[in-house]
């Protein structure tokens, strides 16, 4: 029997790499969309990638294609080539602080890009009669200033160009679901982290600094608001929720969260505590990282996902911090060894 085909937009990111692993383990043929770059941007996928000459195009495996959410005609061609059963739209300029500096670009990728994809899926479904189920990566940032705990019933109050663009993408998805009978599930995911998290998000910035400080490669960590509260889970758990949403009988919107919030300060205490250090000896304030409008507290209520999808997080906050710190201790040790052998930088996965 031919394998199910999944198309992942944003496969080179943190979630894309975990989702690709998850789907490959279940026998999918995974098609990933990567952006053309002047240097390789597939570090998070290297352990999954095999040369296409060694692949059977009718069997499970990973196949990469060039594409971009700003290029609608390319997206259409991809749908016609891949004929996916499932599409995961994880592509985004996903950094909230950066979205204040690159607001138009963020809107073009996050909001308009989702619209381009929905239009392509609509036409594909109409022309072929085949349904491609679509997962849209929404965000708890859409709740922004709305009081915690936030659930599917909470009204959005976005506080950044990124969050506004995600709200637009969310409503485009709802509108296309209602207008054209598309199967589109909106995941409203709270923060999820891992050793593969981008290094400018606060959790990874901290775990990376702990590793480098222990190995003498860094002596200060510059941060801004330590009182912000986030509901941090493990990315590996969260990609399973995406998949479950597309296998559910009905396209719907789901909050995915652990249900407990912690401050950046608490993350620091645990992360530095793991190596027997006091974060106050290393952390300094840098106002450059402040956002023009901050989101103070995100804490999700994921009961709908638990009831309808049977989804529950497995990794606790303390386990997540430990996992990230341990991984970054290893990375810093390799970085030190490379430096001692005359190499300037280390490849970060
Ligand atoms: P990430 O690590 O920043 O990955 C983003 C992915 O999008 C990368 O593969 C990136 O490609 C790709 N991308 C960027 N611009 C694109 C474009 N114009 N066209 C196509 N692809 C593009 O983000 P993540 O943490 O994995 O998050 C995945 C999705 O979930 C994002 O949409 C994010 O906004 C959303 N989300 C994340 C969280 C979280 O806590 N992680 C929570 C809620 C929602 P390059 O590698 O080439 O840059
Ligand atoms: N990035 C960063 N860098 N954040 C800092 C720093 C710093 O030096 N110091 C304090 N913070 C605070 C931020 O002000 C924010 O309140 C909190 O740490 C978390 O920041 P990020 O890790 O950048 O994540 P985010 O919550 O803004 O956004 C992430 O989660 C969203 C879901 O809620 C991203 O992954 C988004 O793409 C995602 O949608």
**Nearest-angstrom CA–CA distance, 18 and 241:** 12
The answer as to whether 178 is a domain residue is yes
Q: Are residues 91 and 111 in the same domain?
A: yes
- Ligand 2 near 8 CB (within 6 A): no
The answer as to whether 141 is a domain residue is yes
**For residue 103, what is the domain's CATH number?**
3.40.50.720
Q: Is the full-model pTM beyond 0.85?
A: yes
**Nearest-angstrom CA–CA distance, 316 and 329:** 20
Go through the chain and tell me how many residues it has.
Answer: 349
Q: Are residues 129 and 11 in the same domain?
A: yes
Split into its structural domains, the chain has a count of 2
- Ligand 2 near 191 CB (within 6 A): yes
**For residue 215, what is the domain's CATH number?**
3.90.25.10
Q: What is the pLDDT of residue 57?
A: 77
Q: Are residues 48 and 103 in the same domain?
A: yes
Of 147, 116, 152, nearest to 255 by C-alpha is 152
pLDDT for residue 342 is more than 90: no
Query: How open is the CA angle 136-140-141, to the nearest 5 degrees?
Result: 105
Q: Are residues 94 and 175 in the same domain?
A: yes
Give the model's confidence band at 345: pLDDT under 50 very low, under 70 low, under 90 confident, else very high: low
pLDDT digits (tens, 9 = 90+) for 300-329: 999 999 999 999 999 999 999 999 999 999
Q: What is the pLDDT of residue 348?
A: 43
**What are the CA-CA distances from residue 298 to residues 117, 230, 234, 245 (Å)?**
29, 5, 16, 22
Atom of ligand 1 nearest to the CA of 108: 18
The answer as to whether 111 is a domain residue is yes
Of 245, 235, 232, nearest to 311 by C-alpha is 245
Query: Is residue 221 within 8 Å of 206, Cβ to Cβ?
Result: yes
pLDDT for residue 349 is more than 50: no
Residue 212: which residues within 8 A CB-CB, separation 6 or more?
218, 328, 332, 335
**Across residues 221-248, what is the average pLDDT?**
98
Mean pLDDT, all residues of the chain = 96
Q: Are residues 34 and 133 in the same domain?
A: yes
Helices (H), 181-287: 202-214, 235-247, 264-273
Q: Are residues 139 and 114 in the same domain?
A: yes
The answer as to whether 305 is a domain residue is no
pLDDT digits (tens, 9 = 90+) for 5-59: 999 999 999 999 999 999 999 999 999 999 999 998 999 999 998 877 777 878 8
Ligand nearest to the CA of 14: 1
Q: Are residues 224 and 251 in the same domain?
A: no
Q: What is the CA(161)–ligand 2 centre distance, in A?
A: 14
Q: Are residues 75 and 99 in the same domain?
A: yes
The answer as to whether 166 is a domain residue is yes
Q: What is the pLDDT of residue 1?
A: 81
**Nearest-angstrom CA–CA distance, 120 and 306:** 32
Q: What is the pLDDT of residue 208?
A: 98
pLDDT digits (tens, 9 = 90+) for 118-163: 999 999 999 999 999 999 999 999 999 999 999 999 999 999 999 9
Token reading at 202: 């606060």
What is the extent of the structural domain holding 126? 5-194+233-256
Residue 200: which residues within 8 A CB-CB, separation 6 or more?
95
Q: What is the CA(276)–ligand 1 centre distance, in A?
A: 34
**Nearest-angstrom CA–CA distance, 53 and 24:** 18
Q: Are residues 77 and 24 in the same domain?
A: yes
Q: Are residues 137 and 214 in the same domain?
A: no
Q: Are residues 89 and 37 in the same domain?
A: yes
Q: 40, 94, 110: which to mutate for ligand 1, most atoms within 8 A of CB?
A: 94
Q: What is the CA(254)–ligand 1 centre distance, in A?
A: 19
Of 92, 110, 80, nearest to 5 by C-alpha is 80
């Amino acid at each position: 029997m031919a394998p199910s085909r999944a198309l992942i937009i944003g496969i080179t990111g943190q979630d894309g790499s975990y989702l690709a692993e998850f789907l490959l383990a279940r026998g999918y043929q995974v098609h990933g969309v990567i952006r053309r770059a002047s240097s390789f941007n597939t570090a998070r996928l290297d352990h999954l990638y095999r040369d296409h000459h060694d692949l059977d195009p009718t069997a499970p495996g990973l196949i990469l294609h060039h594409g971009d959410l700003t290029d609608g005609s390319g997206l259409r061609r991809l749908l016609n080539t891949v004929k996916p059963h499932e599409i995961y739209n994880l592509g985004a300029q996903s950094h909230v602080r950066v979205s204040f500096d690159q607001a138009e670009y963020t809107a073009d990728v996050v909001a308009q890009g989702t619209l381009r994809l929905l239009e392509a899926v609509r036409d594909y479904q109409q022309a072929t009669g085949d349904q491609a189920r679509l997962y849209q990566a929404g965000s708890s940032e859409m709740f922004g200033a709305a009081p915690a705990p936030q659930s599917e019933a909470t009204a959005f109050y976005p506080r950044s160009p990124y969050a506004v663009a995600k709200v637009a993408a969310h409503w485009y998805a709802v509108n296309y679901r209602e207008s054209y009978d598309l199967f589109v599930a909106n995941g409203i995911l709270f923060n999820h982290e891992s050793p593969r998290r981008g290094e400018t998000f606060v959790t990874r910035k901290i775990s990376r600094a702990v590793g480098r400080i222990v190995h003498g490669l860094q002596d200060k960590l510059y941060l801004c608001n330590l009182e912000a509260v986030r509901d941090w889970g493990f990315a590996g758990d969260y990609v399973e929720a995406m998949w479950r949403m597309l296998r559910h009988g009905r396209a719907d919107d789901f909050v995915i969260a652990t249900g407990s919030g912690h401050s950046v300060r608490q993350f620091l205490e645990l992360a530095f505590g793991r190596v027997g250090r006091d974060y106050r000896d290393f952390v300094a304030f840098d106002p450059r990282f402040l956002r023009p409008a901050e989101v103070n507290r995100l804490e999700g209520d994921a009961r709908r996902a638990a009831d309808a999808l049977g989804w529950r997080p497995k990794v606790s906050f303390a386990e997540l911090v430990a996992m990230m710190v341990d991984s970054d201790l290893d990375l810093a040790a390799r970085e030190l060894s490379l430096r001692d052998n005359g190499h300037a930088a280390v490849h970060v996965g």
